[in-house]
């Protein structure tokens, strides 16, 4: 039974990874409805929070139906991170997560995200200070190391645990790899198998089929899986994994009608959250994934991603449902 602080998550929970421009409230709601046990916000800049930057503050929006929900923050400045903890705590999430893994250059060059993997003492000191600064459980998401020659994740994870980290999610790549090559789960298993570790160790990276989730659970012995790219346009993935755990069989793929309904609700929730203009604009990136695998779909997709009016998108979705209602997804 995995637990983060006092939050019981059941056997081998599935966590929605924090993904920039993806893990917003509408998408989190869809994933939660479809089996995600914990959801995390997009990562939020501590510097943006303390400056009251509108984009950073809006990412703090969380809703009761999402719980348990974690707010993820990143930064490398002690004072800024501690001040941001106070701001985050006021929004009453269940978990505060620290991003020590983002490989993007604009984050890394400031020493934040995966950049902090070059300064493990700072990584540990930041975590300890944040744990002491809040009553909420603090978790960490990180990578194996800066590059192949600097992987010390077993030692790093133990040190983070020892200063109060409540759980750790580890992406099975180094910063140098970015998202290339295959994720290596063996070092994550080594963290879990360290006899001194007692907090949950969650695996992340390339959990893209139910079979891979079983492998992570049974062959690598991890406490849960954090799901990222496999869920984009496929919020059903969490239930697909759970169904496979129970039965050893695959759930039928969502029908076109189910895909249309998810896309429609996604757009409705986005508009309710951000207004017509941004709601329409920021839902565009999901349509390709919702309807992946449908032949001759380019015309509909083009209309969805170029329309600025929600009624036009809704009309296109209705047309898709009517046109493709009998199509069997593979």
CATH code for the domain of 58: 3.20.20.70
Give residue 182's pLDDT: 87
- Average pLDDT of the chain? 89
Same domain, 40 and 145: yes
Confidence at residue 310, expressed as pLDDT on a 0 to 100 scale: 94
Q: Residue 266 and residue 235: Cα distance in Å, rounded?
A: 11
Same domain, 149 and 267: no
Question: Considering the chain, what percentage of its residues have pLDDT values greater than 70?
Answer: 94
Domain check: are 45 and 109 in the same one? yes
Q: Is residue 48 domain-resident?
A: yes
Report how many domains make up the chain: 2
229 and 152 inside one domain: yes
Q: Are residues 314 and 238 in the same domain?
A: no
pLDDT band at 39 (very low <50, low <70, confident <90, very high): very high
Q: Is residue 330 part of a domain?
A: no
Q: What is the pLDDT of residue 330?
A: 58
Q: How far is CA 179 from CA 106, 171, 174, 195, 273, in A?
A: 16, 10, 9, 30, 30
Eight-class DSSP state of 294: -
User: What integer pLDDT is reported at residue 103 of this predicted model?
Assistant: 61
pLDDT of residue 57: 79
Res 295: pLDDT: 80
Q: Which residue has the higher pLDDT, 272 or 109?
A: 272
Residue 138 pairs in a beta bridge with 96
Q: Are residues 133 and 43 in the same domain?
A: yes
* Annotation says 102 is catalytic: yes
Confidence of residue 194 (pLDDT cuts 50, 70, 90): very high
Q: Which domain holds residue 61?
A: 2-247
Task: Spell out the residues 6+ positions from residue 289 whose beta carbon is closer than 8 angstroms to its own.
Answer: 232, 233, 234
Task: Return the pLDDT at 326.
Answer: 62
Average pLDDT over residues 107-119: 71
- Among residues 190, 221, 247, which one ends one of the domains? 247
> How many residues does the structure list for the chain?
330
Q: Which of 200, 227, 247 is the last residue of a domain?
A: 247
What are 40's strand-pairing partners?
70
Angstrom distances, CA of residue 327 to CA of 255, 256, 291, 294, 330: 8, 7, 12, 8, 10
- Can you list the alpha helix ranges (DSSP code H) found in the chain? 25-33, 46-50, 54-58, 78-90, 105-108, 120-132, 153-162, 186-193, 210-218, 237-247, 256-274, 276-290, 298-306, 310-324
Of the candidates 31, 102, 109, 165, the residue annotated as catalytic is: 102
Same domain, 241 and 210: yes
Are both 23 and 119 inside the same structural domain? Answer: yes
**Residue that terminates a domain, selected from 220, 247, 274:** 247
Q: How far apart are CA 20 and CA 315, in angstroms?
A: 28
Spatial separation of the C-alpha atoms in residues 181 and 49, rounded to whole Å: 34
Between these two residues, 35 and 320, which has the higher pLDDT value? 35
What is the CB neighbour count within 10 angstroms for residue 279? 20
205 and 107, same structural domain?
Answer: yes
More confident residue, 117 or 158: 158
pLDDT in tens, 122-163: 999 999 999 999 999 999 999 887 777 778 899 999 999 999
């Amino acid at each position: 039974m995995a637990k983060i602080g006092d939050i019981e998550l059941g056997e081998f929970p599935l966590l929605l990874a924090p993904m920039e421009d993806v893990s917003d409230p509408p998408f989190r709601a869809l994933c939660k409805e479809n089996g995600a046990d914990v959801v995390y916000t997009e990562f939020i800049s501590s510097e943006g929070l303390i400056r009251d930057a509108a984009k950073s503050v809006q990412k703090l929006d969380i809703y009761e139906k999402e719980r348990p929900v974690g707010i993820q923050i990143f930064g490398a400045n002690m004072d800024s991170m501690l001040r941001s903890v106070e701001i985050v705590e006021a929004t009453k999430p269940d978990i505060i997560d620290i991003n020590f893994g983002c490989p993007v250059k604009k984050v890394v060059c400031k020493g934040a995200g995966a950049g902090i993997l070059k300064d493990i003492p700072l990584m540990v000191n930041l975590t300890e200070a944040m744990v002491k600064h809040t009553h909420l459980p603090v978790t960490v998401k990180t990578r194996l190391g800066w590059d192949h020659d600097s992987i010390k994740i077993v030692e790093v994870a133990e040190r983070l645990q020892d200063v109060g980290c409540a759980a750790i999610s580890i992406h099975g790549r180094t910063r140098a790899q970015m998202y290339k090559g295959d994720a290596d789960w063996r070092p994550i298993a080594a963290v879990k198998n360290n006899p001194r570790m007692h907090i949950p160790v969650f695996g992340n990276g390339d959990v893209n089929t139910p079979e891979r989730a079983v492998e992570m659970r049974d062959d690598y012995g991890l406490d849960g899986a954090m799901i990222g790219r496999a869920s984009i346009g496929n919020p059903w993935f969490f239930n697909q994994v759970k169904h496979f755990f129970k039965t050893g069989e695959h759930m039928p793929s969502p029908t076109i009608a189910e895909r249309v309904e998810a896309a429609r609700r996604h757009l409705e929730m986005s508009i309710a959250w951000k207004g017509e203009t941004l709601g329409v604009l920021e839902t565009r990136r999901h349509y390709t994934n919702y309807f992946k695998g449908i032949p001759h779909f380019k015309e509909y997709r083009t209309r969805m991603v170029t329309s600025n009016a929600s009624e036009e998108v809704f009309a296109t979705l209705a047309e898709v449902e009517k046109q493709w209602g009998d199509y069997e997804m593979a």
